[in-house]
A and B are shown apart, each in its own frame.
Chain A
Amino acid sequence: MTAAKTTVSRAEICVGACAELFRGDGEILVSPMSTVALIGARLAKLTFEPDLLLTDGEAGLLAEVPVLGEQSEPAREGWLPFRRVFELLAHGRRHVVMGANQVDQYGNQNISAIGEHSRPDRQLLGVRGSPGNTVNHRTSYWVPKHSPRSFVEAVDVVAGVGYDRATGSAGRFHDVYRVVSNLGVFDFDGPQHRMRLVSAHPGVELEEITEATGFPLHIGEFHTTPEPGQEALELIRTRLDPKNLRDREVRA
């Protein structure tokens, strides 16, 4: 048993942590935006959250969970084209896990530009749904490279709204839940909704996390991120991601 445990990869721990984001969500639309978060959502659906609604990335709601990286025609149980997503997200029945080029201690997220918005040093992909997602329904972030460049004191452009700005109408349905990185899991239950360490991934020292974080992280009681159980590992390795695409996003 011990031998098996030591072989659990960091990516698999991150998949397990991303799956946990959805615990208790029930029958809502979940929109994970990259590989590890996607495997995590599918793992949650196959295990403890069977009612989660997952899309095929286009407009179909999946009735079964397909294998990552394989051409397949999974059965669909619903049709959710682009415009319907707006209605659904304004109603709040969605949990999105977005990426963040930068995230700060209040959970403000930047995917727009590094530097000045009008003349950036690095033009990023654009805010996409962040300005609406973050003020309408639960939002989490998955950051595969935790560093002082991604966990910053203040983001260059606020695309997704953090707790310090979630006032008035922007605060009505604001719910930035958690951040999962390659080093740990974080929430915003520190003082004044500042980022707090929930758990450090196995093998990660606290110092490694604080050094990789560009602001003072709230450290209270925290635990070690649980490894996925045997059934979950089996699903990740054989059913969900047999080509091990997860390791491309998170280096061991």
Chain B
Amino acid sequence: MAMLLRLDEAIAELVGDGDVVALEGFTHLIPVAAGHEIIRARRRDLTLCRMTPDIVYDQLIGAGCARKLVFSWGGNPGVGSLHRFRDAVQHDWPVPLEIEEHSHAGMANRYVAGASGLPFAVLRGYLGTDLPAQTPNIKTIECPFTGERLAAVPALNPDVGIVHAQRADRAGNVQLWGITGVQKETVLASARSLVTVEEIVDELEPVPGAIVLPGWAVTAVAHVPGGSHPSYAQGYSERDNTAYQQWDPIGRDRERFTEWLRASVFEEAGA
């Protein structure tokens, strides 16, 4: 049964310096509030994993929380580049950022292998590209049945997997619906997991297309309404497109970003 914790307690308890952390979400249900709490907790040297890192990863990287990013696409969706991410990779600001780049399918399959308790995943892809030369985490294997050469990628088993969902019950069973990405696999693959939710309810009414993460597979649940803003939670909120556009000039400039961190993350905590 998952623990019901406050967000700050959950991050303090679950995320340590140097951990491999995945905050997953796809288009909606992006666990932004949890990312901000990691910044407030001043965690360092994290290896951040995500298929499609967007502005919350830009913020974590700009705040100096990460030493490595494992990803397949990093951008501000519908707007452009992540400038804190670029600054870190190109100029080591505020700290150097190592990158491990995969394809979308490679990342998804790594999570699936991790969730399945298998050591690696196999796929057709990567062969012929320059990526295998950049990381020991892409190898070629021979199919034992046909002899075809294929790519293998190791299971991704984060220390901590963090996702946002619509709701949970008091036993920590979690329900999410709409466009789900690899949240289920992330939670199942991770040693510890945190789910922030819009609402805690007595009973999870069935919703078409919803998935349920059972409480025994989740370490902690935190009640964080609006915790995916500026992305959205289907059935609860709309995407704040303006916020994504407004991020661009903030992210472009180290001073504006530093001021944003102070005003919007550290002071927001109401310390």
Binding site for B on A (CB under 8 A): 58-59, 79, 81-83, 86, 89-90, 112, 117-123, 125-132, 134-136, 157-162, 165-170, 172-173
Contacts and interface: CB of A to CB of B under 8 A. Distances in A.
B105 A169 contact: no
A136 B104 CA distance: 14
A127 B181 contact: no
Contacts of B127: 135, 161, 168-170
Interface residues of B, number: 39
9 contacts: A82-B181, A89-B105, A112-B130, A122-B86, A122-B90, A132-B103, A132-B106, A132-B126, A160-B129
Interface string B86-121: 100110000000110111111010000000000000
B134 A118 contact: yes
Given A112-B101, A129-B72, 11 more contacts: A82-B108, A82-B181, A86-B104, A86-B108, A90-B105, A120-B90, A123-B86, A129-B105, A131-B103, A135-B128, A157-B130
Contacts of A135: 124-125, 127-128
Given A82-B181, A112-B101, A126-B73, A121 B90 contact: yes
Given A83-B108, A126-B101, A132-B103, A117 B134 contact: yes
A126 B74 contact: yes
A168 B128 CA distance: 9
Contacts, number: 124
Given A83-B108, A170-B128, A129 B134 contact: no
Contacts of B209: 79
A120 B101 CA distance: 13
A131 B129 contact: yes
B71 to A, nearest CB: 6
A158 to B, nearest CB: 4
Interface in B144-163: 148-150
A28 B14 CA distance: 44
Given A82-B26, A169-B148, A132 B73 contact: no
A124 to B, nearest CB: 8
A58 B149 CA distance: 33
Nearest to A164: B128
A125 B79 CA distance: 12
A118 B68 CA distance: 12
A127 B102 CA distance: 7
Given A83-B108, A128-B104, A169-B124, A117 B179 contact: no
A167 B101 contact: no
Contacts of B123: 90, 132
A3 B159 CA distance: 66
A127 B86 contact: no
A129 B108 CA distance: 11
B258 interface: no
B75 interface: yes
A136 B124 contact: yes
Contacts of A157: 130-131
Given A120-B89, A122-B90, A169-B149, A130 B129 contact: yes
Contact of B126 (A118, A126, A131, A168): A131
Contacts of A130: 103, 129
Contact of A136 (B74, B89, B125): B125
Contact of A129 (B86, B89, B104, B148): B104
B73 to A, nearest CB: 4
Interface in B1-42: 26-27
A92 B125 CA distance: 13
B180 interface: yes
Contacts of B131: 127, 131, 157, 159
A58 B125 contact: no
Given A112-B101, A135-B127, A123 B89 contact: yes
B237 interface: no
A119 to B, nearest CB: 8
B81 interface: yes
B130 A117 contact: yes
Contacts of B150: 169
A79 B150 CA distance: 30
A128 B103 contact: yes
Contact of B130 (A89, A122, A158): A158
A172 B149 CA distance: 11
Given A126-B71, A126-B72, A132 B101 contact: no
Contacts of A90: 105, 123-124
Nearest to B98: A118
Contact of B74 (A58, A125, A132, A158): A125
Contacts of A169: 124, 127, 148-150
A59 B178 CA distance: 9
